[in-house]
Structure 1
Amino acid sequence: MNLKENERKILVASISPQSRASLAAVFNISIKSTHARLTYFFTKILSFSHFVDTNFGRELALYALSNDFIQRYKTKKNEYDNQILPLLTSACPGWICYAEKTHTEVLPYISRVKSPQQITGTIIKSKLTKALNKQKHNIYHVSIMPCFDKKLEASREEFSENGARDVDCVITTSEILEMLKDYSLDLQKIPEAPHDSLISCYMDADIMEHPGSSSGGYLIQILTFAAQELFNIDLTNANSTHNIIHIIRNNDMMEYILKGPDDLVLLRMATCYEVMACPSGCINGGGQLKPETVNLSKTFTQKEWIDHVNNLYNSSIKISINPIRILQYIKNWDHDFTYKVLYTTYRSIPQLYNKQLNQDW
């Protein structure tokens, strides 16, 4: 079918670091090599124009979340003021949907900062529409995610403008494996392609991650940023006399506390929560590859597999958010565009009950 030039879609794919780590674990290759081979698969075989990761979107999300926390903390009147804290942070659409439907009282506490998936989509479409003089609907953005609920997130009306979405299609990690099988391809044998710098404020082409949990590292980044802004403490300085105490309560709960000399507690992150629906977080999302569903050279228990994928995820270079770098990137953004890129809204969704089933027994 011949399409007119202005009707042709520009195809762009973005991948989450959790999906990349899961594929790297299955094919027993490095994170960097996995990304380079997937870049070749999408750009050379599937004819996509760009293949990027969502880490820059996450960088912006972490920056906006940190500022959100600082603003709320400074506005808080006293230690008993619970009108604006604790701050609930999450890139988990399952949790957001749950809160909107069943716990609307927590909505004011959830940060309005968009997820890396949606920030990435907004930036991709904005940048390419300007660079190529195209309409937003001429850019088709595919997002590769560890979670089936990301499909629902992309379909939210808040992420659509005049019928054109920031993310047009979400495919899971397991669906990527099926695509490779459909093409009779082994990721280990696909050539590598150069790193795509369509959206980034990094000069280095290496794959970079953020410290903290493999669900985004929201909590540790906010704590690090808050230590600098509120107490003038640089936690990235190896010689700092202050430290972060990491307490593992159980498999599904971890706590971070900022302590100074003499074990003085300066900030306890009960004022901020990072929430995930899946056990072990996004690295174990429902769309990720499971050891029992793929051919592996050795046998893994579920915990061993999660640890293995986590270790690969954490093998990349770690960087903390750099406000100067980010401000340089967004310096020409006006207020409306900044809000459009970084923020969203949440709403109460009434539950529909079946009257017959809701009768008293």
Structure 2
Amino acid sequence: MIEVETSLNNESVQEETYLTASHRVDKRQFSEKEYNKFVKLKGVRDWSTLTWKDVGKPYEVTSFAKEKKDWERVNGKSLPVHTSWEMFNRSFHEWFVKDVPAETKESRNRIVRNALKLNIKESAEALGDHLRLHLWNYVHRIQDGVWDPRGKRALFSGLDVVKPKILFLGAAEGYEAMQLSALYPGSEIVMVDYDSFCRDIRYREFPETYPFLGPNPSTGGLKTYYKGDFKTTYIVSDIRDLSFGREFDIVLSVGLLEHFPDDYKSEVIEWHRKFLKPNGYMVLTTPRAQLKSKVYYEVMADVMNHTYRELMTVEQMGLYLYENGVDILQHGYIKVHNGIIAKVR
């Protein structure tokens, strides 16, 4: 079961929240103070005055998955990037669909069984599994930090587009492109990922009943959209091999920029720029550099860390973009992500 927070389309919204089989419905109306718990839209007033001395460099995560380290030990070379992403996608999806209550109960029983037998090594492993389950449950199911619909709707709002054509680079299950398409009805989505598992499993198994909140052009009110409402094409390809021209109103990436060392970041930014129509929007997010995120990626290393990874502040993220010819229109952070909307200078 996937628990998320969202809202539904009733013209007269009732004050209530309740759990369904696949998500949490949340019809409560929030004050500005309460809303600001979910998103912080903050302002660097003049990006031209910001320097790396001011913001420092991103935090590099150096704890890696055992799967990656075992592969490199056996093969005597660095894990290829494509293989690292295949490992990550399968590992992440395995955790995403876990029956957390059942597995938590089993891990607790394993701890007790091994402790009674004085199996110290097995007890330690069971305790580690138990800790990871609790942390995953908190981040994903309680905090809804992976999808975070309320926060991302705020970060993605306000674009001057009508029925935009959206390109999602490194799309995985495609969540954020669907969220954008709900905000801007009539969109056309092109998702790109170079691991077929993302298209064939992660996107295909995305719950058909998951609701996305957006405007209803027919009534001027709100409407609930679902996966089947979005016009979507999914391409399995290396981004560098795409043959599109400057034909997209929005080019989106989620958790892409931070996987590349500084020598390659300008190339990643160019991937966004090269497909944009004149006056089109670049929309990017990266994981936040904050203490709880650092703890998360350390504890969940076996699940998350198969390749190079950084955690950034929104100022660091924005400075990479600004220095590569991009003007930042909106920037902020939500529970675990930074977000930036920008245009080519």
TM-score w.r.t. length of structure 1: 0.26
Greater fraction strand: 2
TM-score w.r.t. length of structure 2: 0.27
Relative contact order, higher structure (CA 8 A, sep 6+): 1
